Every structure is written in C-alpha cells, then in structure tokens.
Amino acid sequence: MAKLLDEYWSIGPVGIPSRLVLAPMAGVSVQAFRRQGRRFGAGLVCTEMVSSAGLRHRNKRSSEYLRIASDEHPLAVQIFGSDPALMAEAGRMVESAGADLVDLNFGCPVKKVTRSGSGAALLEQLELATRIVASVTEAVSIPVTVKMRSGIEPGSRACLELGPLLAEAGASALTLHPRSARQMYGGRADHSLTAELAARAGVPVLASGDVTNHADAVGLLELGAAAVMIGRAAQGNPWRLREILSGSSYEPSHAEVVAELVHFMRGATRELGERRAGGLLKKFYGWYLGHGRFPKPFKQQLIGCATVAGAERLLLETVPGARERLEQLENEPIGASETALELPISLYGGG
C-alpha cells in the first residue's frame, strides 16, 4: 500500500500525524517557527542543534532557553558532540525536559563543529559513531534518531555503510541529506542514496534535501522514504507545507502574509527578547515578503526599522487588512503547558 503524506506513522512509540517533518535549522528553528510549522501541517518539528558540552557546562554566554509547549508535540531536540558519555548525559537532559525524540547530528559540515570530531566528521568514524548511538540509546527511554549526510567528500557512499550500523546500535530512525559535507548546499541531493539506505537500514529513513513540492515528496515516499524533511522551502513560507501535503498550489494574500509574519514576530520576541529577536527577524522579513509578494524597497524599509515594534507598526499600517487575521491568530488557543528547556542555542550552522 502506497504511503500518503498526510497519514499517521510512528518512530518507535512516538506517533506522528503526517509524513512531513520540519527540519532542524540553525538560527531558524526557534519555538515560533516550530509552532507555526505544526499549524501548517508538519507532523514532527525539530529544534536546531544544541551542543552536548554546552548542556553540561551551562555557559551563560552560549546558553539561552528553549521552551517546549504542548502544541509542539511531537518534538525532536537535536544534539551534537563526539564524546559518548557527554552525549548520553545530554540525551538524559533532553528526555527530562519533555522532548519526544533525541536526534543526533552526524551531518553538520561547518568547521567549528567538524574540527572537534562532531557532526559530519563522524560519518567516517564508524566505531565512535556507533558508540555514541549506543550510549545515548542506553541512557534514555525515548527514541534516538540520527541525521547525517552521504559522506565527507563528493561521491562518498559512507552513509550506506554507517546507517545500518547505527540502526543496529539502537537508532530508531535515520534522516539522510544525500549531499556530502564538502558540497554544503551546492549541487543536487542524490536521493538514489536515500532509496538504497531505506532498503538496507531496517528502520524508517527520512529524506532531506531539495524537497520543494508535492511531486518531490511523493516521489521520495515511492523510493522507500518513511517521511520527508522540509527545510529552506518553509523559511518564511509556511504555506509551502500545506502545498506539499495537498498537492494544491496556494498564494496567500498580502493580509495573510503580514498577519503570519507579525504573529511570528511576537512569538519570537516573547521567546528571545527584543534584542535577539530583532537580529533574528531581519532575515525572516526578506523570506516572508519575497516570492514576489512585496516590492524590494519595502523589504529594505522594514529591515531598517530600529525595533521589532516599529517593524510591526509599519507592516500593519501598510496592510491594515491583516489586523483581523492577526487577531484570530493571537486568540487561537496554544499549548496549556510549557516546559523550560535549559538548552544552549547553537552558535553553529546546521547539518
């Protein structure tokens, strides 16, 4: 029986209401982004990667707090590191904070991460990589998953050897972004590797990379993927998630775009504070207002606003029709319970 994008599936005991997963992205996957993704159809959402060493040391410079709200579940918290004991300790902290899954980053290509032996550096360290998975799996009762790339060098097929070993070590699911670490985000993702891994791994394999439409997603399910992970396509464009799920194109009105953006701005500001949110939101302004929706000078005017409140004022003055939709969004019930996660936000790039 063919898999459907909008059908229920599971990773271990964790039920997931659709086969669309919102990717962990550094500097993007804040709580406001994750909550929005769930509203628009993502069955599973993920935090950006968090340092296992940072979790232990609680360094004030690198530590900020993420929160889990009940409307985010199911949620995966992604951690990175190269010390099995530290990763196990971090996994226990993630579980105690209320996450549904602990995801291990074996794919980040950024030098700050790989030079410490973490991220994509583990793709060719089979013994260490399997020890990390075994250590975390033994330390927690929630499922452990791993996100990885195809290998370090272009043309590498390291994932096909490593993936089954990680499943044997206890990983409940694997996500493959089939680009090499050296490729970063260049070229095309080679999803023939995804199909091979799905046939070999013995656990669900999630497909990540270059999924931008319904046909892409359905094609990956037909290749054997259990689910598809959406990353850059959803940045400032949550409507894309619904398009991918339904196969029907949809162009939001200016009022809808502004209402969603302002709602996101308010959520990010509550979460991060005015100063941090102001820095984060500048890239989101371009993402939301792009796609030919608003003229470039208006985007630049918005980016030039000194405060988040000033940017909100400009948006609502320009598109006053957004106020009604915004009021609806603000009055929608959210999760009744929130759990503080004392997790340092990653300073590094995503995998």
Check pLDDT > 70 for residue 300.
yes
Q: Which residues contact 22 (CB under 8 A, 6 or more apart)?
A: 29, 33, 34, 37, 38, 42, 44, 45, 46, 229, 230, 231, 234, 241
Check pLDDT > 80 for residue 241.
yes
Q: Produce one character per residue of 102-117: b if its CB has 16 or more CB atoms within 10 Å, e if not.
A: bbbbbbbbbeebbeee
Q: Specify whether 80 is located in the same domain as 109.
A: yes
Closest by CA position to 53, among listed 43, 66, 42, 63: 63
Check pLDDT > 90 for residue 2.
no
Say if 278 falls within a structural domain: yes
Say if 328 falls within a structural domain: no
- The per-residue pLDDT for 341 is 44
Q: Specify whether 278 is located in the same domain as 129.
A: no
Q: Is there a cis peptide before residue 74, judged by omega within 30 degrees of 0?
A: yes
Residue 236 corresponds to which amino acid? G
- Tokens coding 55: 């979790």
Most confident of 56-60, 179-183, 335-339, 342-346: 179-183
Taken as a whole, the chain contains a residue count of 351
Closest by CA position to 342, among listed 77, 65, 56: 65
Check pLDDT > 90 for residue 344.
no
Kindly state the percentage of the chain with pLDDT values over 70: 92
Taking all residues of the chain, what is their mean pLDDT, rounded to a whole number?
Answer: 90
Q: Specify whether 30 is located in the same domain as 134.
A: yes
Q: Specify whether 212 is located in the same domain as 259.
A: no
Say if 194 falls within a structural domain: yes
Tell me the three state secondary structure of residue 205. strand
Q: Specify whether 261 is located in the same domain as 244.
A: no
Q: Is 108 designated active site?
A: yes
Tell me the three state secondary structure of residue 300. helix
Q: Specify whether 241 is located in the same domain as 289.
A: no
Q: Specify whether 234 is located in the same domain as 217.
A: yes
Tell me, letter by letter, the H, E, C secondary structure of 233-264: HHCCCCHHHHHHHHCCCCCCCHHHHHHHHHHH
Average pLDDT over residues 22-34: 93
Work out how many domains the chain is built from and give that number.
2
Q: Specify whether 220 is located in the same domain as 284.
A: no
- The per-residue pLDDT for 68 is 80
Say if 118 falls within a structural domain: yes
Say if 68 falls within a structural domain: yes
Say if 1 falls within a structural domain: no
The catalytically annotated residue of 46, 108, 159, 305 is 108
Average pLDDT over residues 23-31: 93
Say if 125 falls within a structural domain: yes
Q: Specify whether 23 is located in the same domain as 70.
A: yes
In tens, the pLDDT along 175-194 reads 999 999 999 888 899 999 99
Closest by CA position to 285, among listed 236, 240, 233: 236
Closest by CA position to 30, among listed 54, 17, 46, 53: 46
- The per-residue pLDDT for 8 is 96
Q: Specify whether 173 is located in the same domain as 304.
A: no
- The per-residue pLDDT for 334 is 61
Q: How confident is the model at residue 58 (pLDDT cuts 50, 70, 90)?
A: low
Most confident of 150-159, 290-299, 340-349: 150-159
Q: Specify whether 28 is located in the same domain as 139.
A: yes
Check pLDDT > 70 for residue 60.
no
Which CATH number characterizes residue 97's domain? 3.20.20.70
- Name which of 218-222, 231-235, 311-315, 335-339 the model is least confident about: 335-339
The region that residue 76 occupies, defined by phi over 0 for left and psi between -120 and 50 for alpha, beta otherwise, is: beta
Q: Specify whether 241 is located in the same domain as 292.
A: no
Say if 272 falls within a structural domain: yes
Q: Which domain holds residue 305?
A: 254-320
- The per-residue pLDDT for 53 is 85
